[in-house]
Amino acid sequence: MLPSLAATFIVGLFVGSQIQFFPLSASFLLLFAALGAFLLERLNRYSASQATWLYGTVLFGVVYWAVAVNLTAKPPINESSPDSIREITGRIVAPVQQAPQRLVMIIRSDDRIDESGQSRQVKLTWRENERIFFQGDVVAFRGKLRRPSGSLNPGGFDYEAYLERQGIDAVATVTGPEAVRFLRSGQTHIWWSIWNRFDRWRSSIRLAAIQTIPQPALGLYLGIIIGDRGYLDQDLSDQFMVTGTVHLLSISGSHLGLVALLIFTVVRWSTLLLPADWLLTLSRRITPTRLAVLCTFPPVAAYACLAGAELATMRSLLMMAVGLGAIWLGQERRLFHALSAAAMGMLLHDPQALFDISFQLSFLSVMAIVVWISWPATKEPEPEEAPEKTATIKTCLRWGKDSMVMSGVVTLVTLPLVAYYFNQFPWLGLFTNIMAVPVMGVLLVPVGLCAAVWQILGEASTLPLASLNQWLLEYFVMAIRFVSMLPGGEWHVAAPSVPTMLLFYACLVVIWKHKGRPVFRCAAGAGALLVLLWWAWSPRVFLDGDRFRVTFLDVGQGDSAVVELPDGQVVLIDGGATYERFDMGRGVVAPFLWNRGIRVIDQV
């Protein structure tokens, strides 16, 4: 029942986000939901009490969105006039992100910034800095505050909404070594001293890695160990995107999950290899499985905090905690219930996370893994007395096969969302993730973490095991670059429509549910394949008759014009500027062209 309640709660949140909480519209929607619950009860899919619970959960989701999001929203900050410079004093409330010649800090103001009198959070970019601050420190700066803003293109990335979901009210940029002043250390506060210490460790690891590991291995190391992507080359990031392995660049469920699996397996097997007398004495107090659970969570939680404790990382940690709790209670088979509880907990804390890309990809990936684990496998008959070596080899081969298939399933299930948000058809991910994910989680991350912990404990100025880390990371980067250069690897597509995405997932559900009906499963498989082929094709949207179409795109300092002529030719006027960390042509113009099915520009 819990998975159904979680699903209906998500439906309620989605409905609440799409409508204004007017009595008439809300009443019609809730009446429709009540009729649906009544039909489910009449069709004997649910009892009357269960249908009532489902309807009540939908209603709760609608009301919760209205209360938690709409009624608690802060008024927008009053933007500074062009000549207005304000003195801002506040505490750094998030891990400091560092890049060459730049620091990015989230500062919560201590004093009033505008007439609302509320505490505001400012995203401050400090260029040409000569010192480093840490989370929890109290600082002051003088600068011009601006409301977050992005491009005005319909359907484009809404930077303002993205920062709003993070609780950021304004942005500012200052330049110069004395632009930000240090007032008080975060170590003087009990709560902030914990996060200040983690941030200092991150900075120490960063400085040691910069001195010992060259690019591009440096950017990858900092990204997968401390979650700092400021040193990652954009070209390398694009190559990870092409190969369908871009999720490896951000510390999320795959990193935490594989590290947890490695620790859990090592502790459990090590316990089982103890002498019989020791094992019997230990088992009277705690089982090897529960001991492995106790030994797994603390280092994984420390890794998440060392990585910056970002929202995506903490969501993955929460899912990990719920899963380990299920194992502790002996409820491993109820993984859907654990996943549902984690989802409801996160959405109750932050309903707007429902529309966060990382939330959607993380939960969809974990759901695919849970479905695959619960899939009834056909067991092959084994000899009654197989040699120990043969049994070990067969076990390793079975685990390897399951890992490969699971990686392919996750890539297939998340493919529509990747195509929708990034206009990429990462078909290479079906093959690259089979090897890249285990290598990253079982080899690169553990070795990198060992070096980081060694550096922290020894307070060394250089990174231990630097040569080994550099060798492993460089060969990994070489493999990714080689695969990304394969013909047809970079396959850009139009963003799939929502109906086709629903059709694709409906086909997957039919394949999963109708295990004993091969006709239904074959038809659903054919339907899913046709949808994938349609997405991969992404046909061009042509104009009728002698008409032509001109589309103006906001590219920051001016507008870009895309002219589509009746004969099919495309003319682009002003492709936009290229900034330090963002290319307007790649980030704004190209997605529009891909969504129109345009792959060739005739005139620029």
SS3 letters across 406-459: HHHHHHHHHHHHHHHHHCECCCCHHHHHHHHHHHHHHHHHHHHHHHHHHHHHHC
| Confidence category of residue 380, pLDDT binned at 50, 70, 90 | very low
Same domain as 111, residue 28: no
DSSP state of 578: B
Q: Return the pLDDT at 477.
A: 92
Q: Which one of 439, 462, 484 terminates a domain?
A: 484
Q: Return the pLDDT at 594.
A: 82
Locate 189 and state its tokens: 């506060």
Distance CA 146, CA 170 (A): 5
Any idea how long the chain is?
A: 604
CATH value at residue 124: 2.40.50.730
Same domain as 582, residue 530: no
Q: Which one of 17, 40, 70 terminates a domain?
A: 70
* Host domain of residue 171: 86-188
Q: Return the pLDDT at 491.
A: 83
Burial (CB count <10 Å: 0-12, 13-18, 19+), residue 352: middle
Q: Return the pLDDT at 29.
A: 64
Q: Does 218 fall in a domain? A: no
Q: Does 472 fall in a domain? A: yes
Is the bond into 216 cis (omega within 30 degrees of 0)? yes
Largest CA-CA distance found in the chain, in angstroms, rounded: 88
Contact 429, 417 (CB under 8 A): no
| Confidence category of residue 264, pLDDT binned at 50, 70, 90 | confident
Contact 410, 257 (CB under 8 A): no
* Other CB atoms within 10 Å distance of the CB of residue 138: 21
- Does 240 score more than 80 pLDDT? yes
Q: Return the pLDDT at 476.
A: 93
3-state secondary structure of 502: helix
Contact 504, 418 (CB under 8 A): no
DSSP for 264-298, written as a single string: HHHHHHHHHTS-HHHHHHHHTT--HHHHHHHHHHH
Q: Does 430 fall in a domain? A: yes
Can you say whether residue 545 is alpha, beta or left, with left for phi > 0 and alpha for psi between -120 and 50 degrees?
Answer: left
| Confidence category of residue 381, pLDDT binned at 50, 70, 90 | very low
- Does 331 score more than 80 pLDDT? no
Phi, psi of 426 (to 5 degrees): -80, 65
Same domain as 409, residue 264: yes
Share of the chain above pLDDT 70, in %: 81
> What pLDDT digit, counting tens, does each position of 396-438 carry?
676 666 667 777 788 888 888 888 888 888 788 878 888 888 8
- Does 384 score more than 60 pLDDT? no
> What pLDDT digit, counting tens, does each position of 454-482 carry?
999 888 888 888 899 999 999 999 999 99
Q: Return the pLDDT at 471.
A: 93
Phi, psi of 271 (to 5 degrees): -65, -40
534-554 per-residue burial string, b: 16 or more CB within 10 A, e: under 16: bbeebeeeeeeeeeeeeeebb
Q: Return the pLDDT at 249.
A: 82
What is the 3 state secondary structure string of 546-576? CCCEEEEEECCCCEEEEEECCCCCEEEECCC
- Does 591 score more than 60 pLDDT? yes
Same domain as 469, residue 440: yes
Among 79-83, 125-129, 231-235, the range scoring the smallest mean pLDDT is: 79-83
Mean pLDDT of 257-274: 83
- Bridge-based pairing state of the strands 559-564 and 570-573: antiparallel
**Close Cβ partners of 139 (under 8 Å, ≥ 6 residues apart):** 89, 90, 91, 92, 105, 107, 133, 180, 181, 182, 183
Distance CA 250, CA 56 (A): 37
Angle at 505 between CA 504 and CA 510, to 5 degrees: 100
Same domain as 269, residue 178: no
Q: Return the pLDDT at 378.
A: 41
Contact 123, 170 (CB under 8 A): yes
Distance CA 517, CA 504 (A): 19
More confident residue, 135 or 244: 135
Q: Return the pLDDT at 383.
A: 47
3-state secondary structure of 262: helix
Distance CA 475, CA 480 (A): 9
More confident residue, 206 or 393: 206
Same domain as 90, residue 39: no
Give, in order, the Cα–Cα distances in Å from 360 to each of 154, 355, 505: 22, 7, 14
Q: Does 193 fall in a domain? A: no
* Beta bridge pairs of residue 182: 139
Among 74-83, 161-170, 319-328, 591-600, the range scoring the smallest mean pLDDT is: 74-83
Q: Return the pLDDT at 115.
A: 62
Mean pLDDT of 163-192: 84
- Does 379 score more than 60 pLDDT? no
Same domain as 38, residue 138: no
Same domain as 270, residue 184: no
Q: Does 226 fall in a domain? A: no
Q: Does 229 fall in a domain? A: no
Mean pLDDT of 567-578: 76
- Does 276 score more than 90 pLDDT? no
Q: Return the pLDDT at 275.
A: 82
* Beta bridge pairs of residue 107: 92, 122
Average pLDDT, the chain: 80
> What pLDDT digit, counting tens, does each position of 212-224 carry?
999 889 989 998 8
Locate 132 and state its tokens: 């480093």
378-388 per-residue burial string, b: 16 or more CB within 10 A, e: under 16: eeeeeeeeeee
Element (H, E) at 494: none
- Does 147 score more than 60 pLDDT? yes
Same domain as 112, residue 56: no
Q: In the chain, what are the helix, strand and coil shares in percent, each to the nearest 5?
A: 60, 10, 30
- Does 277 score more than 50 pLDDT? yes
**Close Cβ partners of 261 (under 8 Å, ≥ 6 residues apart):** 441
| Alpha carbon of residue 506 to chain centroid | 24
More confident residue, 84 or 17: 17
> What pLDDT digit, counting tens, does each position of 38-88 carry?
666 666 666 667 777 777 788 788 878 877 876 666 666 766 555 577 888
- Does 190 score more than 80 pLDDT? yes
Q: Does 217 fall in a domain? A: no
Share of the chain above pLDDT 90, in %: 5
Q: Which one of 42, 70, 98 terminates a domain?
A: 70
Same domain as 456, residue 555: no
Our count of domains for the chain comes to 5
DSSP for 140-172, written as a single string: EEEE--B-------TTS--HHHHHHHTT--EEE
| Confidence category of residue 377, pLDDT binned at 50, 70, 90 | very low
Same domain as 352, residue 271: yes
Burial (CB count <10 Å: 0-12, 13-18, 19+), residue 557: exposed
Same domain as 176, residue 293: no
Mean pLDDT of 258-274: 84
Instruction: Tally helices (H) and strands (E) across the chain.
Output: 21, 10
More confident residue, 50 or 296: 296
Q: Does 432 fall in a domain? A: yes
- Does 139 score more than 80 pLDDT? yes
